[in-house]
């Protein structure tokens, strides 16, 4: 419903302010009445208002400015009566102070601690419910409190879409088809917590960006947070508030260079607590991120202590060195994305029917061919400069003489200069060498 429709709706309404009610209570009742009549309930959660869309089956984020506009339409329709013999109506004025007070009231009265609590996924033709160890299509319902959905139809007993199958063959090789199916199941299925970062590595033009944008097509634009620099961007409560709060997907489409400040990104993938604070506010709040993270790069990003905890959090997909020729797929990237987007409903329907244990195995980097572990181990050494130094510059010796630490660190820094990487701090280097 547009702002013009909202204004037309409230023009036909009048609200009498009695001694036993307040302006804020009347506005709340008016908002709830419209929501009931038009099947569009309003909630407040995680610092945002959410309006239910009955056609899509989920709540869409609603800007505060939209709610303020609605309140400004309601306030002039509120009146008090003055005079006993000939009562006349005195209308309320839509002042900024009254609007601000009413917003605070609605935040309190409509507030929910959590949303997306149900095991359900909204598709265009209905909501998918996990019942009796399988997915079943049912009616949309605002009681599900979903804040995202798939804007495509669910397809019962779907097979792998032909264009997607061809895309995997030409960009990854068909040996990767089952892993990609598991990745899409993980991104679509709310039963899996955020346990890994989907890391797509490959040369330019091999399909990694197409895969990343296809994952983005699963979500509405307002539910995606895009980071253009690196993991360090999340190392402040203000950035977390801007890029993570209320988001279903955190995307890093071009991750390059040395990555440090990994604290927040590690918390994203292990159920850790994140702290968020709005700009120019002193109010902080803690929450656990339950969305997904995807990143793209032309090479394994260098980072400290990659072998300790980071690589087990990366589900790494590797494209072919060069994309294969195809008589079915267009060479133009935009046309290819559109073709694959048209299959998104069938693709997710096929992916969600993948056995749960197979998806869990993929999230643990287990696959029958061992491709995930092979790729992960190969990139692990590239991400960790200290490990590269140990593997490439040191040889076993029978001597009990321990090399001088300063000498080792200088040799390590020379290697980093040669690789174009940033050397870690001397204390960290000594700790890792021990």
DSSP letters spanning 272-295: -EEEEE-TT---EEEEE--SEEEE
In a domain, 142, yes or no: no
**172-210 confidence digits (pLDDT tens):** 999 999 999 999 999 999 988 888 999 999 999 899 999
Calculate the CA dihedral of residues 317, 322, 324, 328 and round it to 10 degrees.
Answer: 70
How many distinct structural domains can be found in the chain?
3
Same-domain check for residues 56 and 171 = no
Q: Is residue 144 part of a domain?
A: no
| Residues 104 and 209 grouped into a single domain | no
**Rounded distance between C-alpha atoms, residue 150 and residue 190, angstroms:** 12
DSSP 106-128: HHHHSB-S----SSEEEETTEEE
How far apart CA 401 and CA 206 sit, in angstroms, is: 49
Please, which residues have CB within 8 angstroms of residue 424's CB and are 6 or more apart in sequence? 304, 385, 386, 432
**Do 168 and 180 contact (CB within 8 A), yes or no?**
yes
Residue with tokens 């409560």: 237
- The whole-number pLDDT of residue 1 equals 60
The answer on pLDDT for 214 being more than 90 is yes
- The edge-to-edge listing of strands for the beta sheet with 15-16 is 15-16, 78-82, 88-91
Do both 193 and 45 map to the same domain? Answer: no
Cβ atoms of residues 74 and 27 within 8 Å:
yes
Q: Are residues 345 and 390 in the same domain?
A: no
| Pair 372, 268 in one domain | yes
Residues 6 or more apart whose Cβ sits within 8 Å of residue 200: 208, 211, 212, 294, 295, 296, 297, 316, 317, 319
Q: Note whether 14 and 87 are same-domain residues.
A: yes
- Position 145 in a domain: no
Q: Clarify whether residues 419 and 322 are in a common domain.
A: no
pLDDT tens by residue, 271-292: 788 888 888 888 888 888 888 9
Q: Are residues 395 and 371 in the same domain?
A: no
The whole-number average pLDDT for the span 320-348 is 92
Give the model confidence (pLDDT) of 21-34 as tens digits: 899 999 999 999 99
The CATH number given to whatever domain includes residue 311 is 3.40.50.300
| Residue in the structure block whose two tokens are 């339950």 | 290
Mean of all residue pLDDT scores within the chain: 87
- Which of 109, 144, 176 lies at the terminal end of a domain, its last residue? 109
- Model's pTM, two decimal places? 0.84
* pLDDT attached to residue 272: 80
One domain, residues 341 and 373: yes
- Cα gap 186→178, rounded to integer Å: 12
Instruction: Kindly state the average pLDDT of the residues 156-165.
Output: 95
The DSSP code for 89 is: E
Q: Residue 306 has what pLDDT?
A: 62
Together in a domain, 186 and 272: yes
Lowest mean pLDDT, pick from 210-224, 321-335, 363-377:
363-377
Out of 364, 380, 396, a domain closes at 380
Q: What's the confidence (pLDDT) of residue 245?
A: 84
Q: What is the pLDDT of residue 309?
A: 66
Identify the residue with better confidence: 257 or 45.
45
Contact present, 79 and 16 (Cβ < 8 Å): yes
140 lies in a domain?
Answer: no
Query: Is 350 a member of any domain?
Result: yes
Given this model, what pLDDT does residue 348 score? Answer: 96
Chosen domain end from 109, 132, 165: 109
- φ/ψ of residue 400, rounded to 5: -90, 0
* Same-domain check for residues 195 and 318: yes
In a domain, 235, yes or no: yes
Residue 105's pLDDT band (boundaries 50, 70, 90)? very high
User: Is 218 in the same domain as 263?
Assistant: yes
Contact 146, 116 (CB under 8 A): yes
pLDDT at 249: 92
The pLDDT value recorded for residue 426 is 84
In a domain, 60, yes or no: yes
Kindly tell me if the per-residue pLDDT of 305 is higher than 80: no
Identify whether 139 is part of a domain. Answer: no
Residue 234 exposure: Cα atoms within 13 Å on the Cβ side: 26
* pLDDT exceeds cutoff 60 at 308: no
> Looking at residue 3, what is its pLDDT?
66
Residue range of the domain that includes 68: 3-109
pLDDT digits (tens, 9 = 90+) for 40-96: 999 998 788 999 999 999 999 898 999 999 999 999 888 888 866 677 788 888 788
Predicted pLDDT at 304: 62
DSSP 216-281: HTTS-GGGEEE-SS-GGGGSSHHHHHHHTTT-SEEEESS--S-B---HHHHHHTTT-EEEEE-TT-
């Amino acid at each position: 419903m547009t702002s013009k429709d909202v204004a037309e709706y409230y023009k036909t309404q009048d609200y009498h302010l009695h001694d036993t009610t307040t302006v804020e209570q009347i506005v709340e009742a008016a908002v709830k009445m419209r929501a009931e009549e038009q099947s569009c309930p309003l909630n407040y959660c995680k610092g945002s208002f959410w309006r239910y869309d009955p056609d899509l089956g989920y709540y869409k984020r609603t800007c505060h400015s939209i709610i303020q506009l609605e309140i400004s339409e309601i306030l002039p329709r509120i009146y008090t009566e003055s005079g006993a013999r000939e009562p006349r109506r005195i209308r309320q004025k839509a002042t900024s102070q009254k609007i601000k007070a009413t917003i605070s009231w609605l935040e309190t009265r409509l507030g929910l601690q959590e949303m997306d609590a149900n095991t359900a996924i909204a598709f265009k033709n209905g909501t998918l419910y996990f019942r009796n160890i399988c997915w079943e299509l049912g009616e949309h319902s605002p009681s599900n409190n979903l804040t995202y959905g798939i804007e495509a139809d669910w397809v019962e007993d779907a097979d792998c879409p032909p264009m997607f199958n061809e895309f995997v063959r030409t960009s990854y090789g068909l040996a990767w088809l089952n892993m990609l199916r598991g990745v899409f199941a993980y991104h679509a299925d709310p039963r899996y917590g955020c346990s890994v970062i989907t890391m797509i590595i490959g040369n330019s033009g091999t399909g990694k960006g197409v895969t990343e944008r296809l994952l983005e097509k699963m979500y509405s634009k307002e539910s995606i947070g895009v980071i253009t620099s690196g993991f360090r961007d999340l190392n402040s409560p203000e950035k977390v508030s801007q890029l993570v709060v209320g988001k279903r997907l955190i995307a890093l489409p071009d991750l390059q260079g040395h990555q440090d400040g990994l604290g927040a990104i590690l918390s994203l993938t292990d159920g850790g607590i994140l702290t968020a604070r709005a700009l120019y506010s002193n109010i902080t709040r803690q929450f656990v991120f339950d969305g997904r993270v995807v990143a793209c790069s032309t090479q394994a990003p260098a980072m400290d202590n990659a072998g300790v905890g980071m690589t087990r959090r990366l589900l790494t997909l590797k494209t072919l060195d060069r994309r294969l020729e195809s008589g079915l797929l267009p060479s133009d990237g935009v046309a290819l994305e559109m073709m694959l987007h048209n299959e998104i409903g069938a693709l997710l329907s096929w992916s969600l029917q993948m056995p749960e244990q197979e998806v869990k195995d993929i999230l643990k980097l287990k696959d029958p061919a061992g491709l995930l572990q092979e790729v992960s181990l190969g990139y692990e050494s590239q991400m960790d400069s200290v490990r590269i130094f140990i593997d490439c510059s040191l040889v076993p010796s029978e001597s009990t003489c321990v090399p001088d630490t300063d000498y080792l660190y200088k040799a390590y820094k020379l290697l980093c200069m040669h690789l174009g990487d940033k050397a870690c701090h001397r204390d960290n280097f000594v700790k890792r060498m021990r």
